Structure 1
Amino acid sequence: MGTNLSDDLNERLRDKTIQIVSLNQKLETLQAQLGGSQKRANQLGDQVALLEATLAQKDSEIQILTSELSRTKGALGVVGKEVQGMKAEQTQQLLKKAPSSNGFLMREELALSKQRIGSLEEDLKRFSRVATLVLNEEKGALEKLREVVLEVGDPKYRILNMVLNRKSMRIDEIAATLVLDISKTVEVVDSLQNAGEVEVKDGSIVLPAKKYREIQVPREEWFPMEPDAIFESLEEFLIKTDDQESIVNALETAVEILEQKLARGGALVFQMRRTADSWKKQIGSVEELRYMIRDWRGRANSMV
């Protein structure tokens, strides 16, 4: 009977052991699932933060273009009045001229005036059509407005848009592109410089004003990223700006974040910090810096 009792206890012990092992396995499975869910939740949180930042940027762009549209609508009225004034002025001038030996010259002048007025009226129609698209919030309307302003708008806005898009342009290059006299181009550039919209370097190179060159470093967006993604974002940041202060801020922000994420990255972080200090003292080559970032990225990936 003692043997039967011992066997019964052993059997129960085995059952309990099996149950415990089974529960441990279920617990490990649940923990793995929880870890996966947590990782997915973190990824979704990062995506939400990125989308929020993108939406904020788009809102800012819409506000800028809406302001441009408002200025353009005002310019339409001014141009319309100028067209009417030109018609009246040309008519008066032609009436004053003698109709004999100057007949051919008068016809040529009249044809040229009609051509100029027709061109201005066509520009007005283009502005009007695009303005209607913008007001109706049609897809791509803001980009079409930007194109029309760049092609036929006030020389001041055309030059500013060109400089903002190209980041740097020579005065003679601007004049050739817009078919303007150098003196007229210099006059418009001086006006933009006085308004704080552009800067002139070495007397002939036109740059966007500092307020356009400066770009805020998206620290909150970078912070949850993996090191590889941070280096990728840092390189993309350099495509958007060559402003010394903005680049230094981006490097220092990346160093601050990566220092916490790369346990074995002491030498790499030190080199990055030294590069940031060097740029703070003197601007370097953006292209060389991009190559350095790619090298840092490869070294960081080997540590993960």
Structure 2
Amino acid sequence: MSVVPSSLSFNSSVATSQNDSQDDAEPTKVKNYLKERLKSRIFLGRYVERRLADKRIGYRDVVIISAAEVSLKKDLFDVQHKLVAICPNTHWIGITDTESLGYSPGICLWTEIDNQPFGPFWFQIKSLKFRDGEVMVTLKCLRHISDAFLEVEPILTGAAKKTKPTENTDKKLENSVAALNETYSDFVETLKGFLSISNVKEFITFLLAFVIAIFTGSTSFINFLGNFILALLREFSILVKNSTPMFLGLLDFFSKIVGGFYILLAMLFRQSAPVPSMNKRTVGVYDRSRRSYNDQYDDRQFD
């Protein structure tokens, strides 16, 4: 009698464990299916900004998918709905619409991009990454879009600009008006406090003290400047008086040097005095007297 209930309880536990394993295997199959569905898909998009997704998640890079990628956008919306169904406890799914960010209607991906500038790119989907409380579509930047292609694809040039809804504009206008009113009221209160009797009395006292200080300071400065100029003139006159003899002696010394130099030049270039010419008569008398002397004295007499 006791064997039947025990066997029934064992069968029920086995069935429960099988159901749990089937329940765990079902989301895994769906996740793998979604990964294979998006893997290696190439699309056109624009890397627009880096924004704080959530305090728990942190900052993520926002990529807006081109409006020309119709099939990919449809698949992404389908993947988003299935992720919400199989991952109800997931805090953040990195597939959202662009209207919540203030852009024109479309779809965007919240991902991680390293060392790439903002602008249009050819992207490739690597896979779906399941983290604790987050599902992220990982991308690979294949190529930056050239300017020639931007002319053909206006979605990437102008449609990704932020739109300003009228509600946000009205709220900003109301906030600015409230801020101006608050600033005006603060200014009026400050002006009233400044124009009190005690403040006016203190201001007049400060002004009188400031004027007196300027007057006394100017008088002292003028007195000091006059004394300084007089002392400077006196010292300069003493300097001129003591340096005048030395200056005159120096001038005399240089004048003597220059005069001696000119005298030396005059002596070098002076013409020599002419030799006086001899008279013919004197020369004849001198020759006759010499000849008679030679005749009278013969050198052979001394031999």
TM bin, normalised by shorter chain, reads under 0.3
Richer in strand (by share): 2
TM-score (structure 1 length as normaliser) = 0.23
Richer in helix (by share): 1
The structure number with the bigger radius of gyration is 2
User: Relative contact order, CA 8 A, sep 6+: which one is greater?
Assistant: 2
